[in-house]
């Protein structure tokens, strides 16, 4: 069986990364598809997800965006670190999991077709930031999350999985975010598993 390498990029708690790592363990991705998470990379040295990943014995890397002069320089350094995590320099899947950086078209093109993101809205509704506040203010009765392939146009790649949650009358952006996040942790591993089965 040929090996499949997954690199996960985080910026914060990495709760989606944690859900993916747990799914890989509990659903035997390695024995079923030769797939494993070969590294967790953060643009923030203080990202809490890094210590969790280290405690799991995962390889971690930091590419601090504050250490670079502009997006192109940061993305070039990030690409080198991400590719450097696998012997052939070509990870099979790059998974953006709470990765809060806008990536340059060159970076996206380099990983075209093998990079995923999770966005906390029912795309195409509410691309961009502050999705939960915007859904509440718009009077939406439902909200949710979308796993999609990453293309040069922000939050617009092929949708792989979506989940819907109700917006409750007394919801705040925080209570809605928590309800959506619970669903994110289900649909991201599911989307990756479907891709692994098809690779």
65 is an active site residue: no
Contacts 24+ apart (CB under 8 A), 161-170: 161/187, 161/188, 161/190, 161/191, 161/194, 162/122, 162/123, 162/187, 163/187, 164/122, 166/141, 166/142, 167/135, 167/136, 167/140, 167/141, 167/142, 167/143
Place of tokens 């799991």: 56
Give the span between the Cα atoms of 97 and 119, in whole angstroms.
9
Q: Segment contacting ligand GRF (CB under 6 A): 6-14, 51-59, 60-68, 155-163?
A: 6-14
Token digits of residue 15: 């709760």
What is the smallest separation between the CB atom of 118 and ligand GRF, expressed in angstroms? 5
Decide if residue 8 touches ligand GRF (CB under 6 A): no
**Candidate residues 5, 6, 7, 15; the one interacting with ligand GRF per rule CB under 6 A:** 15
Q: Are strands 159-166 and 115-119 parallel, antiparallel or unpaired?
A: unpaired
**Candidate residues 181, 187, 192, 195; the one interacting with ligand GRF per rule CB under 6 A:** 181
Token digits of residue 108: 């996206």
Place of tokens 């999985």: 161
Q: Segment contacting ligand GRF (CB under 6 A): 13-21, 58-66, 105-113, 165-173?
A: 13-21
Site string for ligand GRF, 136-175 (x = CB under 6 A): ---------x------------------------------
Q: Segment contacting ligand GRF (CB under 6 A): 12-20, 23-31, 74-82, 149-157?
A: 12-20
Around Cβ 3, how many Cβ atoms within 10 Å?
Answer: 14
Decide if residue 12 touches ligand GRF (CB under 6 A): yes
Decide if residue 98 touches ligand GRF (CB under 6 A): yes
Decide if residue 41 touches ligand GRF (CB under 6 A): no
Q: Which residues are catalytic?
A: 119
């Amino acid at each position: 069986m040929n090996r499949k390498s997954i690199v996960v990029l985080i910026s914060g708690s990495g709760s989606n990364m944690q859900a993916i790592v747990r799914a890989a363990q509990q659903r035997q991705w390695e024995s079923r598809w030769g797939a494993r998470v070969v590294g967790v990379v953060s643009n923030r040295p203080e990202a809490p997800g890094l210590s969790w990943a280290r405690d799991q014995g995962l390889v971690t890397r930091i590419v601090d965006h504050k250490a670079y002069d502009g997006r192109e320089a940061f993305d070039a350094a990030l690409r080198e670190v991400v590719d450097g995590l696998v012997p052939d320099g070509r990870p099979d899947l790059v998974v953006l999991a709470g990765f809060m950086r806008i990536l340059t078209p060159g970076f996206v093109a380099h990983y075209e077709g093998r990079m995923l993101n999770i966005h906390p809205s029912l795309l195409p509704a509410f691309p961009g930031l502050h999705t939960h506040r915007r859904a509440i203010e718009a009077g939406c009765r439902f909200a949710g999350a979308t796993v999609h392939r990453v293309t040069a146009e922000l939050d617009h790649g092929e949708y792989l999985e979506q989940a819907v949650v109700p917006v409750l009358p007394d919801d705040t952006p925080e209570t809605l975010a928590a309800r959506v996040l619970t669903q994110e942790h289900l649909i991201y591993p599911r989307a990756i598993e479907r891709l692994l089965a098809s690779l």
